[in-house]
Amino acid sequence: MKTIEASGLTKYYGSLLAVDNVSFSVKRGEVFGFLGPNGAGKTTTVRMLTGILRPSRGEVRVLGYDMLDEHEKILAREMMGIVPEMANPYVDLTAMGNLRLMGELYGMGKREIEKRALDLLKLFGLYERRKSKVRAFSKGMRQRLILAMALIGDPEVLFLDEPTSGLDVISARMIRDIIRDEHRKGRTIFLTTHNMAEANELCQRVAIIRRGKLVAIDTPEKLKTLGKGLSVEVSFEPMVFEGSAIDSALRVEHRGDKIRIYTDDPDATIRELVRYAEEKGLRIVSLKTLSPSLEDIFVELVGGKDD
Ligand SMILES: Nc1ncnc2c1ncn2[C@@H]1O[C@H](COP(=O)(O)OP(=O)(O)OP(=O)(O)O)[C@@H](O)[C@H]1O
Ligand SMILES: [Mg+2]
């Protein structure tokens, strides 16, 4: 049995087709990334998977339960943890108060809630602040609390809609560490994110959605093989670069303090660059060969002037 199964999932908002006949499945224990540009239909999909929004067409099963059946949906939701897009804890409650409230919603016993809440607070670095009102929490602390709230019921499957959006690198890294730990414990995780490095780092498989349609679904490494090949990135000091430095047929992109050169023969390109640096008396600050990143593939698949 697949943990999540979506088939022919479709959603119209009035005449707007937000999700168009999307089918996929997520295996047990997998971190599955759901990627797409703004407005592609990610949140709409998550809301249908979690039973918050009824599809216009199609079917969703989570842990074998039919999410379109009101009774089965209730059973499934007891085993789901959800971090909605832009979720917020209650700011007039303490961290502990929020966790208690969520535990009660899951129908957990008082003692079980206390124990689980304290464990999660410790795990997420919020224990010292457990009695503070959330109003005084930073965004990163709130997001960790939201994640703890989603985990209070020890769910089999976790749905995270952009859990690191708007966080600084340290806070985002803490959230990613938590996701990795939860994966290690065997939880299935459905993750939407705009951060391609994050998807690459965390996900066993990713799906890419564009204007409501699935355009790719595979492992990050296999998707990368669709890319435009290798490139060499170089930074000189001073940063002087003339077209004559390398084979004029190669595509060159200026990227911040670096130059990226797309080439089928990195060895030859590197030799040319080194020769050029010597000739001009430039110091090579960095020089490396790169394979296409998930972000490169993402841009190739969803980019385009018509967007
Ligand atoms: N409640 C709604 N009523 C009408 N249209 C909606 C509603 N929610 C979303 N839409 C539209 O559906 C499309 C998909 O939106 P959705 O929020 O699912 O995208 P998303 O991929 O999550 O985008 P983002 O990355 O910005 O969060 C968009 O065109 C959006 O304007
Ligand atoms: Mg969204």
Nearest Cα residue to atom 9 of ligand 1: 44
* Alpha-carbon span 268 to 265, nearest angstrom: 6
How many residues in total does the chain contain? 307
* Alpha-carbon span 286 to 301, nearest angstrom: 29
Amino acid at site 274: V
41 lines ligand 1 (CB under 6 A): yes
pLDDT of residue 46: 98
Percent of the chain with pLDDT over 70: 99
Amino acid at site 81: G
Percent of the chain with pLDDT over 90: 88
1 lines ligand 1 (CB under 6 A): no
- In angstroms, what CA-CA distances link 271 with 53, 195, 267? 57, 34, 6
- The answer to whether 269 touches 261, Cβ cutoff 8 Å, is yes
The pTM assigned to this predicted structure is 0.89
Distant-in-sequence, close-in-space partners of 272: CB < 8 Å, separation ≥ 6: 245, 246, 247
The mean pLDDT value for 85-106 works out to: 95
Mutation choice for ligand 1 from 10, 16, 86, CB with most ligand atoms inside 8 A: 16
Residue 304, pLDDT above cutoff 70: no
Residue 305, pLDDT above cutoff 70: no
Report residue 34: phi and psi, to 5°: -125, 110
Nearest Cα residue to atom 7 of ligand 1: 13
pLDDT of residue 307: 47
Highest mean pLDDT out of 57-71, 225-239, 254-268? 57-71
Nearest Cα residue to atom 28 of ligand 1: 39
What angle, rounded to 10 degrees, do the helices at 110-123 and 95-105 form?
130
Question: Which of these, 249, 253, 282, lies nearest to 268 by C-alpha position?
Answer: 249
> What pLDDT band is residue 239 in, cutting at 50, 70 and 90?
confident
Q: Which domains does the chain have, with CATH numbers?
A: 4-224 (3.40.50.300), 231-290 (3.30.70)
Residue 227, pLDDT above cutoff 90: no
- Tell me the pLDDT of the chain averaged across its residues: 94
> What pLDDT band is residue 1 in, cutting at 50, 70 and 90?
confident
Q: Identify whether 238 is preceded by a cis peptide bond (ω within 30 of 0).
A: yes
